Structure 1
Amino acid sequence: MSKISRDSDIVELDGPPAYEYGEKVRSRLNIRNDGTFPGKEIGEVLVKKGDEGYVVGIGTFLQQFYIYSVDFVALGRKVGMKGREIESIEQQHDALPEQDVA
């Protein structure tokens, strides 16, 4: 039997969303169609790890998770993703140490 990962102990809605509208993000994983994306086969890859997009909507799922609607402009599709499936590109650049210019 395969090991099933469950997020049942996590309740993200206790705090604010991790990402903001318009924020540029990158997929941390390959995302496959779970049957909720029309026009694609179940199991078909919708987004590849490293693909970049923008948060265009923030909703909730099961009164537990934030779901971010991410517009992957280069792919021409919007995909709903959990916070753990994306990372901010903007925050990464902000976190880089400043360098002195000689």
Structure 2
Amino acid sequence: VKKYLKRFFNFTNPLKLVVGVFELLSDFTKILSLSLRLFGNILAGEILLLVMAFLAPYFIPLPFMILELLIGFIQAFIFSALSLIFIKSAETRYEL
């Protein structure tokens, strides 16, 4: 953690310090946006299933359940891929 934070805060130049603060903010907003995106997609799918189950309770929701399962697999793949990209970019050292 110390090495990670040290790359953002360079006190040799005030401009590097300001850029470091923005880079740190950028890293946290990536995590927040990825989490909110996943939450929104899961919530929308659940709401769709509930509405379809309420309107036609027997066989109509079945295709939507299968669709929601497929969307869940796609979201898991996208979440994993974006997490891997964000972690890899956090490991990379950029010179300011």
Which structure has the greater CA radius of gyration? 2
Same fold (TM over 0.5): no
Per residue, is there more strand in 1 or in 2?
1
How would you bin the TM-score normalised by the shorter chain? under 0.3
* TM-score relative to the length of structure 1: 0.21
